[in-house]
Structure 1
């Protein structure tokens, strides 16, 4: 079952969208706190987002950019704005599709299913999505997601790069210099900045129930140990 997040301030329209989405066997969550869309996105972890342009406080373009900063989850705009520039602006801010109101609900469902197939289903398999798998802990760099069994953690871009570096070399030690080069190229970064990013990765692992996997080797670097591996 896929999870669809609706960000629409018209309660009647949001309710009708929800009824159609659920009818086709998917789970639906309606966002009602429009000042905290990104926080709700991180809590819900949806597979697709339906996003209106005209919202209280901040518009849909703003929230699209915020979601794109942490995830590649498909975003479909639904809006009464039917101008070419509105649609171009949505795509430039990271949207995957744009549907103008009024619309036929079956069209919305078809476009949702199209995105699900493209990212998570048959089309994704054909496209050969890149993954990094270590003893069942799977990183999806293009989605910026980390999964272990039925649990998923949403990552930022730097968390994704850091985890890919550690996972691909696990259980070998990764030097501090290697990590700095991967994350910031030749820019100067102090130890505290690196420590903050390491702490964030530990939190993402903890969301999956993984504790004490990321080891600090003082003076050398970091090592990711497969403590989540179940003994046979």
Structure 2
């Protein structure tokens, strides 16, 4: 879960943005004392900062300078000011983007997702090997293997399997899977998800693993460990 620091003094707007971002599983923090932004920034250690220009005490440009002096964390300006010099200034200070108010929330979330993917997902080495129910899973090569042989999965199938295994023994809702696929730019419908899960389970059957992906009617899916049953 990514931590976002929203530096916004309009309480109503802050709460609205926080609620919308939280619905996308982001952990959103605000500022209690606008004279000590850096102290709270240091304590929170956010993965991305969203900041307004017009703030109490010091403006957003001041805090952008302060943050950039200590961190390379992505910064997005969110402001009602529309003068070109404000946008140029924000970029010169090291901001990653500038979004003008009023804005459409889909634009904000798309820009946040793009920045987080670029900064963290693409530049961070990820563990590509995993063991589950005695099988070795290679996320990079889309392969699952055990003593019975090996199978190759599609990108969607390995993505779904990874989401389930990372939360093994817990029910993952259909909505959460679809949202994860959407965030990863794999656009799927509810019906497409069903088809992919059925194909995944059928392929896993070749290795005797299909039964460890269970469907929970009205709830979602669960990847269980061998020998564990969840009724």
Q: Match for residue 143 of structure 1?
A: none
Matched residue SS, 2:103:
coil
User: Is 1:46 the equivalent of 2:49?
Assistant: no
* Deviation of 1:26 (Å): 1.1
Question: With structure 1 as the length reference, what TM-score do the two structures score?
Answer: 0.53
Q: Match for residue 194 of structure 1?
A: none
Deviations 1:15-36 (A, max 9, x none): 1110111101110001121111
Q: Which segments of structure 1 move beyond 2 Å, counting only runs of 4 or more? A: none
**How many pairs are equivalent?**
125
Matched residue SS, 2:91:
helix
Matches for 1:205-224 after TM superposition, within 5 Å: none
Deviations 1:168-192 (A, max 9, x none): xxxxxxxxxxxxxxxxxxxxxxxxx
Checking the alignment, whether the CA contact within 8 Å between 1:35 and 1:57 is kept in structure 2 is yes
* Deviation of 1:86 (Å): 0.6
Question: With structure 2 as the length reference, what TM-score do the two structures score?
Answer: 0.53
Matched residue SS, 2:70:
coil
Deviations 1:8-56 (A, max 9, x none): 0101111111011110111000112111111111000000000000001
- The runs of 5 or more residues in structure 2 that have no matched partner are 126-231
Q: Report the Cα distance in structure 2 between the residues aligned to 1:10 and 1:32, rounded to whole angstroms.
A: 12
Q: Report the Cα distance in structure 1 between the residues aligned to 2:55 and 2:32, rounded to whole angstroms.
A: 11
Q: Match for residue 24 of structure 1?
A: 24
Q: Report the Cα distance in structure 2 between the residues aligned to 1:42 and 1:115, rounded to whole angstroms.
A: 21
- The runs of 5 or more residues in structure 1 that have no matched partner are 129-232
